Amino acid sequence: MTVETLEAGTKTAETPEALVERIATEGRAAQRVLARMSDAQKAEALRAAAKALRSEEAAILEANAKDIAAGEEKGLSGAMLDRLRLDPERLAGIADAVEAVASLPDPVGQVIEESSRPNGLKMSRVRIPIGLIGIIYESRPNVTADAAALCLRSGNAALLRGGSEAVHSNHAIRAAFAKGLASAGIPEAAIQLVPTQDRAVVGAMLTAAGLIDMIVPRGGKSLVARVQSDARVPVLAHLDGINHTYVHADADEATAVDVAVNAKMRRTGICGAMETLLLDAQFPASAKVVAALIEAGCELRGDARARAIDSRILAATDEDWDTEYLEAILAVKVVDGLDAALDHIAAHSSGHTDVIITRDDAAAERFLAEVDSAIVMVNASSQFADGGEFGLGAEIGIATGRLHARGPVALEGLTTYKWQVRGTGQARP
Amino acid sequence: MTVETLEAGTKTAETPEALVERIATEGRAAQRVLARMSDAQKAEALRAAAKALRSEEAAILEANAKDIAAGEEKGLSGAMLDRLRLDPERLAGIADAVEAVASLPDPVGQVIEESSRPNGLKMSRVRIPIGLIGIIYESRPNVTADAAALCLRSGNAALLRGGSEAVHSNHAIRAAFAKGLASAGIPEAAIQLVPTQDRAVVGAMLTAAGLIDMIVPRGGKSLVARVQSDARVPVLAHLDGINHTYVHADADEATAVDVAVNAKMRRTGICGAMETLLLDAQFPASAKVVAALIEAGCELRGDARARAIDSRILAATDEDWDTEYLEAILAVKVVDGLDAALDHIAAHSSGHTDVIITRDDAAAERFLAEVDSAIVMVNASSQFADGGEFGLGAEIGIATGRLHARGPVALEGLTTYKWQVRGTGQARP
């Protein structure tokens, strides 16, 4: 099986594996150049890329118009067309975001720890880029620039594979970005876009162990599930965000109402949105929390005890406890105390973000210690689960795996380390 | 397909997947108990386990005698029988090692970083155990206690699968270890030995994503290769150690001789042994380094320019540049300067440990920066590649992958982190 690619106007045919090997090898070579560049050089290159995104506005918006026209013809939903659409303001936002990443501190070269051994050897663990990062994403063309900027800032090369709907936009953004990089002396292959939309190439990327060092999927659950199930390359991702907010017996009433409504209703479609509300049987103001959610426009689905609180709550099925709605629907359950809440969360959480509302410090600390999720919060909305809100300046994604990096992942999560050992002729006895 | 297991005297039959799911679920439940234990409790439990290893000496040595007898009958090599054999002194060494791990600082609970956001949210990243670690190893029974101790010290449960040759020894060591743990209130399932030697269970462990959090293979290259190729669970390992020592033009002569001979000949069978010597064409004392190696009993295989240095050097083939000999054989090549050395290492290193011998600081720093291996050294023997020598107190293994942990991995590499967020009722605007 071969795939056709369109590069520099000439069609070539090769297998998906050969294509991935070829472009990954180019990307790895470019990354070796990048790894030798200084903080200032990388920052300057990103500023040049942002400048090019602004100066190439006409070409990028023209390419985007083609995608929008094709999308309308294909009958894409209004929401999908909206995710796809660029205008001068959105493009300026993309360029601004690249400049913001340029201003973040460079993690590369940071000494994580140092020690001297009794034999005089000096040990240091030093941050280095991971290498070549594969980004597999769907219809949002801003990911092209966002992911490229984060990879480049941390000294990594990127191999981008965007959605078919955004193909013209992605190529135009990548071309402008690469022009900026080239003006700062960075090889264009540092940021590559897979030159075909053939889906077999995604499979070849997922199994390219040794060529691609890490894959970050950005998109819906079916994309992430496929990547997680097929990848032989390490994956940084979260499959879903089945996030719980537990209102403890000793919760402050106003906090419970405000945080619950915000956690569910501020934006229902993001991975940090609350999907299950656990109300302690001893919490006296459950009716107020429930009423506030319903009045904010949320559909509630509860167990029998929850339905006894408010007759507007619909009956939940077992499935509701494991559902990421991503809309104005919420599962509600009454639990008997902290242990029951911890048990429910252990059984049903997706390990993304779980929250306790309480004034009881001991209960809060037990929750923080015992809930085994990437993010655990006390008295705050789960919608804060975001790299920017965590002070990371940006994020490549949120990870719920257990190794390497968890929660919001930004530049540090795109690095690894090596050991440097400085001796004076030591031989091991 | 089902496997038979022998537990508590009753034979049961289940599929390998069902067996792994059952014991992994037990291990995970035990780990939740372990995760709540204090530093002092875990240390005390390990001291109790060490004590039990000493008090059960007779039972362990008797079990070991069975393995030795079976191994002799099977015609195992002398080297394999030696790896398998325990005596009072070796067993005391195993107990000592468990006590040494008990004395290492507990990484769990360590705050990696903290910050306060402008909205008052307090963020901290806190070290936690990874969860359930699978250890797949060969004939050395000491791994049973070593790996169990490191996992337990860092709050992880362990699922051990040792080699068939050591089955009686492993069960006796694990039984003693678990007896010690139980006396300190830790569930026996925190440290489990797979109750069958059926090889299909190894396959089931390797694909038990979500049940086993990480696999550490300990053994020869074929074991590690199988684990790396089949695993769907993250693997911490190195496949081989094709380690280079580059003698720069400006190397100190005595250092070059001492370090090269030590790096190759101190112990030829360890993963940190030098396998390729790169001699700079401008280094004036190459003949002395070569002679010292030959006189120490090493067979040298070189390219034409190396053979011109000493007629005792045999002709190398292309394969020699990619071979981990693990014996007294060394590939030798003459290179033209630092760049040629870096290119050779980039093409042939396995990413384990590479060394430069030089008095030139600029050359040393370029080598440290540009060689992309887990460990890079200046003027020191690659045989220092070891967790103990690095000051880690012990090691679960040496990793050459790019994510999570690299080089010698000890307790910190057996942990991950979570984000704890402490608020006072914040909702996201």
Q: B42 to chain A, minimum CA–CA distance in Å? A: 17
Q: Domain check: are A269 and A378 in the same one?
A: yes
Residues in B closer than 8 angstroms to A35, CB to CB, are 370, 372
In B, which residues are within 8 Å of A108 by CB distance? none
DSSP 3-state of A358:
coil
B113 close to A (CB below 8 A)? no
Residue type at A296 in one-letter notation: A
Is residue B3's pLDDT more than 80?
no
CATH number of the domain at A255, please: 3.40.309.10
User: Tokens for B190?
Assistant: 């925190």
Per DSSP, the three-state class of B186 is coil
Q: Are B161 and B228 found together in one domain?
A: yes
* Distance separating alpha carbons of residues B16 and B202, to the nearest angstrom: 8
- Beta-carbon-side half-sphere exposure of residue A397 (alpha carbons within 13 Å): 28
Same domain as A290, residue A274: yes
Residue A7 is assigned to a structural domain of this protein:
no
Residues A427/B379, Cβ–Cβ less than 8 Å:
no
The tokens describing A258, both together, are 């405000």
Please provide residue A30's backbone torsions phi and psi, each rounded to the nearest 5 degrees: -65, -35
- Specify the CATH number for the domain of residue B169: 3.40.605.10
Residue from the list A32, A375, A401 with its beta carbon closest to the beta carbon of B419: A375
Which amino acid is present at B349?
S
Phi, psi of B239 (to 5 degrees): -80, -45
DSSP string, A300-323: EEE-HHHHTT-TTPEEP-GGGGG-
Contact B262 A370 (CB under 8 A): no
pLDDT at B8 exceeding the cut of 50: no
Task: Report strand pairing: B314-315 vs B299-302.
Answer: parallel
Residue B400's closest chain A neighbor by CA?
A418
Residues B176 and B296 in one domain: no
Q: Give residue A394's pLDDT.
A: 85
Please tell me which of the candidates B373, B390, B403 has its beta carbon nearest to residue A123: B390
**Contact status, residue B371 vs residue A421, Cβ threshold 8 Å:** no
Total domains in chain A come to: 2
Lowest mean pLDDT among A138-147, B261-270, B339-348: A138-147
Residue for token digits 């077992």?
A: A318
| Residue B203 neighbours by CB distance under 10 Å | 16
* Among B379, B384, B404, beta carbon nearest to A424: B379
Residues A257 and A231 in one domain: no
Range B382-397 average pLDDT: 93
Q: Per-residue pLDDT averaged across B185-197, rounded?
A: 93
| Residue % of chain B over a pLDDT of 70 | 97
Q: Scan residues 244-283 of A and list those with Cβ closer than 8 Å to B.
A: 252, 254-255, 258-259, 261-263, 266
Q: Assign 3-state DSSP to chain A and report helix, strand, coil percentages, each to 5.
A: 45, 25, 35
Per-residue pLDDT of chain A (429 residues; tens, 9 = 90+): 566 554 444 456 899 999 999 999 999 999 999 998 999 999 999 999 999 999 999 999 999 999 999 999 999 999 889 999 999 999 999 999 999 999 999 999 999 999 999 999 999 999 999 999 999 998 889 999 999 999 999 999 999 999 999 999 999 999 999 999 999 999 999 999 999 989 999 999 999 999 999 999 998 899 999 999 999 999 999 989 999 999 999 999 999 999 999 999 999 999 999 999 999 999 999 999 999 999 999 999 999 999 999 999 999 999 999 999 999 999 999 999 999 999 999 999 999 999 999 999 999 999 999 999 999 999 999 999 999 999 998 899 999 999 999 999 999 999 999 999 999 999 999
Nearest chain B residue to A404 by CA: give it.
Answer: B404
Q: How far is A156 from chain B (nearest CA, A)?
A: 12
- Residue located via tokens 């949105």: A273
Residue contacts between A and B (CB atoms, under 8 Å): 192
**A131 in contact with chain B, both atoms CB, cutoff 8 A:** yes
Please indicate if any CB of chain A lies within 8 Å of the CB of B366: no
What pLDDT is recorded for position A393? 86
Q: What is the mean pLDDT of residues B310-326?
A: 97
The answer as to whether A283 is a domain residue is yes
Which of the pair, B85 or B4, is modelled with greater confidence?
B85
Residues A227, A354 within the same domain = no
Residue A1 is predicted with a pLDDT of 56
pLDDT reading at B118 higher than 60: yes
Structural domain contains residue B8: no
Partner-chain contact B384 A416, CB within 8 Å:
no
Report if residue B53 sits inside a domain.
yes
Instruction: Say yes or no: A122 contacts chain B, CB-CB below 8 A.
Output: no
Predicted confidence at residue A139, as pLDDT, reads 80
pTM > 0.90: yes or no: yes
Confidence check: pLDDT of B4 > 50: yes
Contact A318, A273 (CB under 8 A): no
Q: How far is CA A84 from CA A79, A362, B271, B364, B380, in A?
A: 9, 47, 52, 50, 56
B residues 294..333 contacting A (CB < 8 A)? none
What is the spatial distance between Cα A204 and Cα A218, in angstroms, rounded to a whole number?
18
Q: Distance (Å, rounded) from C-alpha B65 to C-alpha B376? A: 42
For residues A212 and A229, what is the distance between their CA atoms, to the nearest angstrom?
17
Considering the domain architecture, whether residues B248 and B212 belong to the same structural domain is answered as no
Helices in B231-309 by DSSP H: which ranges?
Answer: 253-265, 286-295, 304-307
Give the pLDDT mean for B47-51.
97
Q: Which residue has the higher pLDDT, B139 or B261?
A: B261
Among A403, A421, A427, the residue with its CB nearest the CB of B403 is A403
Report the residue from A36, A377, A427 with minimal CB separation from B262. Answer: A427
- Taking an 8 Å cut-off on Cβ atoms, the answer to whether A402 and B214 are in contact is yes
Q: Does B402 touch chain A (CB under 8 A)?
A: yes
CB contact under 8 A, B123 and A403: no
Which residues contact residue A234 at a Cβ distance below 8 angstroms, ignoring those fewer than 6 apart? A213, A214, A215, A403, A404, B234, B401, B402, B403
Query: Any idea of the CA torsion for A180, A184, A185, A191, to the nearest 10 degrees?
Result: -40
B244: pLDDT strictly greater than 90: yes
CB contact, 8 Å: B28 with chain A? no
Task: Identify whether residues A189 and A256 lie together within a single domain.
Answer: no
| Residue A394 within a domain | no
Contact B403 A214 (CB under 8 A): yes
Beta bridge partner(s), residue A124: A114, A420
Same domain, B29 and B161: yes
AA identity, residue A133: I
- A43 in contact with chain B, both atoms CB, cutoff 8 A: no
Do the chains contact at A417 and B406, CB–CB below 8 Å? yes
**B402 to A380: CB separation less than 8 angstroms, yes or no:** no
Q: Flag whether B89 is in a domain.
A: yes
Residue of A nearest to B375 (CA): A419
**Whether B95 and B226 share a structural domain:** yes
What's the rounded mean pLDDT across residues B11-27? 90
Residues spanned by the domain of A353 = 243-389
With CA atoms as reference, the chain B residue closest to A419 would be: B375
Pair B341, B277: CB distance under 8 Å = no
Name A97's Cβ contacts closer than 8 Å, sequence gap at least 6: A142, A145, A146, A149, A394
Residues of B in contact with A406 (CB under 8 A): 416-419
Report ipTM for this prediction.
0.94
User: What pLDDT sits at residue A96?
Assistant: 95
Same domain flag for B352 and B375: yes
For B132, which residue in chain A has the nearest alpha carbon? Answer: A402
Q: What phi, psi does A118 have (nearest 5°)?
A: -55, -30
- Residues A135 and A144: their CA atoms lie apart, in Å, by 9
Residue in A396, A416, A405 with CA at minimum distance from that of residue A148: A396
Residues A200 and A260 in one domain: no
Examine residue A401 and state whether it is found in any structural domain, yes or no. Answer: no
Asked whether residue B367 is domain-assigned, the answer is yes
Residue A105 DSSP one-character state: P
Cβ–Cβ gap B424/A131 under 8 Å: no
CA B336 to mean position of chain CA atoms = 35
Q: What is the per-residue burial (b if ≥16 Cβ within 10 Å, else e) of A328-359? A: bbbbbbbbeebebbbebbeebbbbbbbbbbbe
